Structure 1
Amino acid sequence: MMLGTLAQRRPPAQGAPEWVPDGATAFLDFVNGHYFAGGAERAVSTLLGGGFDPAAISGSGMRIIGSNGNRPKAIGALFSDLEAGIAAGCTLLFDLNCANPPGGFLLFIANAANLDLASEVINVGVDGYVFDYDSLGFGDTISTAGVHKEGITINRDLGAGNRQYARSNDGSAATTQTVNYTPAVIPINSMLIGHDGVGTGNSLNDVTIRSITLYPAVSPTALAALTA
């Protein structure tokens, strides 16, 4: 599998516990209560803040629905790992259980606190779309309830000033787009999970996040292998 190349990228000094996926730089396992970021195991309360509600986590994962008030944002070591990953290029793998046809923002990255205030964003929709306020806009759509694995590569450096974004769902061949600019959201003000920081209108439509894994940026072929 492609994961062998990922495993070689983990620095031995990182000392990751055995439950961290090979090659991952951060891992939030909501089902089993394991959380890793900044090179160490952490309490989830040090990684998610803002409107995060720990009561939304159960043995099924972390549920986000408009009515439950769970509006987490990345903080602490998780924010730092994501910020560094986006600047260098990274891949995020989401393991999800969708109670309804998917809808809402899975990941909202912005240069301000929320959608109303932001002038630059990268939005990742749970239904498959990735876009920003510049030229980025593509998708690899899912439309069914149930368990899905969604992988997103952000800002992979292809050389000569070109940056690749990619999306794969459930082992599908990755959909990609190449742009000739680095993310304008840098420096990043906020990284919100499952919402855009404004009310409940763009909150996830009853999605339980089972885990989130952060990797260095991988190729489109490796991205499809991660989501299979």
Structure 2
Amino acid sequence: MMPGILAQRAAPKQGTPAWVPDGATDFLDFINGQYFSAGAERNILTLLGGDFDPSAISGSGMYVNFDNSNRPTAIGPLLSDLLTGLVAGMTILFEVTTGHSELGGFLLYIGDNESYFDSDAWNVVEANGGVWDEGVLDISTSISGVGAHKIAVTFNRDIGGGNHQYAWSHDGNAAVTQDTPYAASTMTDAQLGWPGPPGGGLQLFQTYIRSITVYPAKLPADLPALTGI
């Protein structure tokens, strides 16, 4: 039986269970098949749709690779929380493992549709590169090495005076930040394991997403503790 699908209750269970990290608004634990969003436990099929392949979930996490069909689209309460979080400011923690020496591809796309060639507003989290905001912001970093990695990205944190901050930390390293003189645009869609522009082939490579945790926006100084391995 795949974790988190048949084992989940048909109706959401209200309240925050003990296994949800403190302060998190959303928690997708693909290893243990436990999913929480918008104040309740959820069935994963109510959170991921589109080109989501439930068979990609195993005890190792949710697998995304160039040769499988798993390209999940956030739906329902998860999509609502991601879009609301983008406007208010949020931090997302990704826990992943990779079987390749370079962790490549895109972890998350948030935009007006699923192709930034057709969109004027988008935010992209690249597994080995950083976060892009509407083609203007580009936080660069580098992750390498087979095995486990933790990546925390803060979007659109209000720092006053009309300015907003993005930040990136991985594997316990100090956060890299960049400020913008504008807030993030309102968006409509979100996708995990996004393959990039049509024909781009930039989906994650040999990657298991072990968990995804969404928080209200955190300070850059808090990110290294969040990503410590």
TM-score, reference length from structure 1: 0.90
Q: Distance in 1 between matches of 2:45 and 2:118?
A: 26
Does the aligned pair in 1 maintain the 2:156–2:165 contact within 8 Å? yes
The reply to whether residue 141 of structure 1 matches residue 132 of structure 2 is no
Listed as ranges, the gaps of 5+ residues in structure 1 are: 1-13
1:212 aligns with 2:212: yes
- 2:161 counterpart of 1:160: yes
Matched, 1:70 2:70: yes
Matches within 5 A, 1:51-90: 51-90=51-90
Please state how far the C-alpha of 1:199 moved relative to its aligned partner.
5.1
Bigger CA drift: 163-172 or 110-119?
110-119
Structure 2, gaps ≥5 residues long: 1-13
**Code of the aligned partner of 1:58:** S
Which residue is equivalent to 2:110?
A: 109
Report how many aligned residue pairs link the two structures.
213
Moved more, 134-143 or 46-55: 134-143
Q: Is 1:94 the equivalent of 2:101?
A: no
Counterpart amino acid of residue 195 in structure 1: W
Shift of 1:99: 1.2
Task: Tell whether the 8 Å contact from 1:114 to 1:190 is kept in structure 2 after alignment.
Answer: no
What SS is found at the alignment partner of 1:139?
Answer: coil
Task: Find the counterpart in structure 2 of residue 3 from structure 1.
Answer: none
- Kept in 2: contact 1:104–1:127 (CA 8 A): yes
Q: Deviations over 1:30-81 (max 9, x none)?
A: 0000000010000000000000000000000000001110010110000011
**Partner residue, 2:194:** 195
Relative to the length of structure 2, the TM-score reads 0.89
| Secondary structure at 1:116 match in 2 | helix
Q: Which runs of 4+ in 1 moved over 3 A?
A: 196-200
Deviation at 1:111, TM superposition (A): 1.3
Over the matched positions of the two proteins, sequence identity in percent amounts to: 50
Q: In structure 2, how many angstroms separate the alpha carbons of the residues matched to 1:203 and 1:135?
A: 22
Instruction: Write the distance in 1 (CA, Å) between the matches of 2:98 and 2:219.
Output: 27
| Secondary structure in structure 2 of the residue aligned to 1:82 | helix
Say whether the 8 Å CA contact 1:113–1:190 is kept in structure 2.
Answer: yes
C-alpha separation in 1, matches of 2:227 and 2:199 = 31
Is the partner of 2:32 in helix, strand or coil? coil
Change (3 A) 1:68 1:119: same
**In 2, are the aligned partners of 1:107 and 1:125 still within 8 Å (CA)?**
yes
Q: For residues 169-212 of structure 1, what are the alpha-carbon distances to aligned partners after superposition, in whole Å with 9 as ceiling and x for unaligned?
A: 0010000001111113x1x2211101146457011011100000
Query: CA separation in 1, counterparts of 2:224 and 2:166?
Result: 13
Code of the aligned partner of 1:190: D
Distance in structure 1 (CA, Å) of the matches to 2:194 and 2:99: 17
Worse overlay, 192-201 or 216-225: 192-201
